[in-house]
């Protein structure tokens, strides 16, 4: 499990705390009440493990979605980050983007060169057919954007015409999209087995005098 950490020890001196990544390994044990996961093994993900890739990133945190192990035994986690941008001679943080960190040995990590459009965060990722990855993000305009990733390094394409650009919140609302549930499953048995993609989305109904505009979660 990839978690974020925040340290405010130097905040009084620098004016800001320090964010980082924490990789937590769970051990499954059989107990009387059933299987239990003990989260005892927590380790920092040192900046050195990324080589020189972190130089331009001002913030890099876990995206909130679950990590996956692909068929080729690569461990991937969705992350989100921001880079410095220069506007009228002043440096400031740019919009958040979603990308992937991955490792084949759980020690040395790489960041994908490809990434989402600016303003798209809270990523979730799944492995789909032919080794293809699918990432779903929540964007500042309240819609989802879904990306097909054929190569973790470069090949990112927005999946227009399928799941991408669907509304995550009430259309016209001013709320930022929230991360959706996004996973795959195999249904059926024998000759009727099929792989499906499962997505949860909030659905909003028309307002009237007796109901409030609250979202109902749909699969």
76 falls in which pLDDT band (50, 70, 90)? very high
Report yes or no on whether pTM surpasses 0.85: no
CB 108 within 8 A of CB 45: no
The better pLDDT of the pair 107, 173 is held by 107
Q: How confident is the model at residue 15 (pLDDT cuts 50, 70, 90)?
A: very low
User: Which of 99, 88, 23 is CA-nearest to residue 56?
Assistant: 99
In the block, tokens 């005892």 appear at: 40
pLDDT tens, position by position, 151-206: 766 788 888 876 766 665 555 555 555 556 788 888 988 888 888 888 887 766 66
Sheet holding 34-44, edge to edge: 2-7, 18-31, 34-44
pLDDT at 73 over 60: yes
SS (H, E, C) the chain: CEEEEEECCCHHHHCCCEEEEEEEEEEEEEECCEEEEEEEEEEECCHHHHCCCCCCEEEEEECCCCCEECCCCCEEEEEEEEEEEEECCEEEECCCEEEEEEECCCCCCEECCCCCCCCEEEEEEEECHHHCEEEEEEECCCEEEEEEECCCCCCEEECCCCCCCCECCCCCCCCCCCCCCEEEEEECCHHHCEEEEEECEEECCCCCCCCCCCCEEEC
Least confident of 9-13, 96-100, 116-120: 9-13
């Amino acid at each position: 499990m990839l978690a974020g950490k925040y340290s405010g020890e130097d905040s009084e001196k620098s004016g800001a705390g320090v964010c980082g990544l924490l990789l937590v390994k769970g051990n499954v044990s059989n107990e009387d009440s059933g299987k239990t996961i003990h989260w005892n093994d927590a380790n920092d993900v040192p900046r050195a493990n990324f080589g020189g890739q972190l130089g331009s990133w001002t913030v890099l945190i876990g995206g909130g979605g679950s990590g996956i192990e692909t068929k080729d035994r690569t461990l991937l986690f969705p992350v989100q980050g921001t880079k410095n941008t220069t506007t009228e001679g002043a440096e400031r943080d740019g919009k958040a983007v979603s990308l992937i960190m991955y490792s084949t040995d759980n020690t040395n990590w790489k960041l994908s060169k490809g990434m989402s459009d600016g303003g798209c965060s809270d990523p979730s990722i799944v492995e789909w057919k032919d080794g293809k990855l699918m990432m779903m993000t929540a964007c500042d305009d309240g819609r989802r954007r879904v990306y097909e990733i054929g190569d973790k390094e470069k090949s990112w394409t927005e999946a227009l015409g399928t799941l991408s650009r669907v509304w995550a919140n009430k259309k016209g609302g001013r709320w930022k999209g929230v991360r959706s549930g996004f996973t795959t499953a195999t249904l059926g048995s024998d000759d009727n087995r099929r792989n499906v993609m499962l997505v949860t989305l909030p659905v909003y109904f028309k307002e009237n005098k007796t109901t409030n505009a609250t979202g109902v979660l749909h699969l």
